[in-house]
Amino acid sequence: MSRELLAQRQAALVAAIVAGAPLPPGFDEPSVRAASDALMRKRTGEVAGVWPALCASLGPQWNGSFAAWADGRPPRGALRDGWDIARSIAATGDLGPAAAVELAEREVAWRYDGVAAPRRRWAGARRVPGGLLLQVAGRVWRSVRPGGNGLGRFSS
């Protein structure tokens, strides 16, 4: 097998495991599926670790929801995977309040277009349920109440 052929065969195998492409001939299908399933379990757990409120908001549906969303979508790292699914749920209006705050915290701290890797913002502000998030130089404040005069330090 030449280097080019090895590259093509490795690409075909990765596509079958994480992007829903057909399995190249000759592989033991149940064994590769076992690897693919194990990979999905690991990925689900990693995203839950980085997006705990998102995971908690879906409760027992988290594993199934994430697996359904991730099917055919190659992993882009736990931060981006969680971000993408959180935005897709937010777009339907079904994101729980704590998960919405979690998403807003990331949105004020990072610039992310859904295509390239997120980049840190110097500063940002965003409305969240019951108030406003403000981020400056990595520190995030959350307003106590909308229009109120107090900004409580939320996290940094």
Partner 1 sequence: MTAQGAAGSAQNRYGVGIGWRREIAGFVAGLPGLRFTEVVAESLPGRGPGIPDGLAALRDRGVAIVPHGVRLSLGGAEAVDPARVAHLAHCAVALTAPLVSEHIAFVRAGGTEAGHLLPVPRSRDAVDAIVDNVLRTQAELPVPLALEPIAALFDWPDDEMSEADFLCEILERTGAELLLDIANVYANARNRGEDPLTLLDRLPLERVAYVHVAGGAEHDGLYHDTHTDAVPAEVLDLVTALCERHRPPALMLERDGDYPAAQTLRDELDAIADAAGLPRVTG
Supply the minimum distance, in Å, between the C-beta of residue 12 and partner 1.
Answer: 8
Q: Which stretch binds partner 1 (CB under 8 A): 39-47, 85-93, 127-135, 145-153?
A: 39-47
Integer-rounded Cα radius of gyration of the chain: 19
First vs last Cα of the chain: how many Å apart? 52
Tokens of 3: 């280097």
Contact flag: residue 42 with partner 1 (CB under 8 A):
yes
7 lies in the binding site for partner 1 (CB under 8 A): yes
Question: Is 123 an interacting residue with respect to partner 1 (CB under 8 A)?
Answer: no
- How many whole angstroms separate alpha carbon 146 and alpha carbon 17? 47
For 113-134, letters b (16+ CB in 10 Å) and e give eeeeebeebeebebebeebbbb
Nearer to partner 1, 38 or 68 (CB): 38
Should residue 19 be labelled a site residue for partner 1 when binding is judged by CB under 8 A?
yes
Binding mask 68-87 for partner 1 (x = CB under 8 A): ------xxxx----------
Quick count: other Cβ atoms within 10 Å of Cβ 106? Answer: 20
User: For binding to partner 1 (CB under 8 A), which residues are involved?
Assistant: 1-15, 17-19, 25-28, 31-32, 34-35, 37-39, 42-43, 45, 74-77
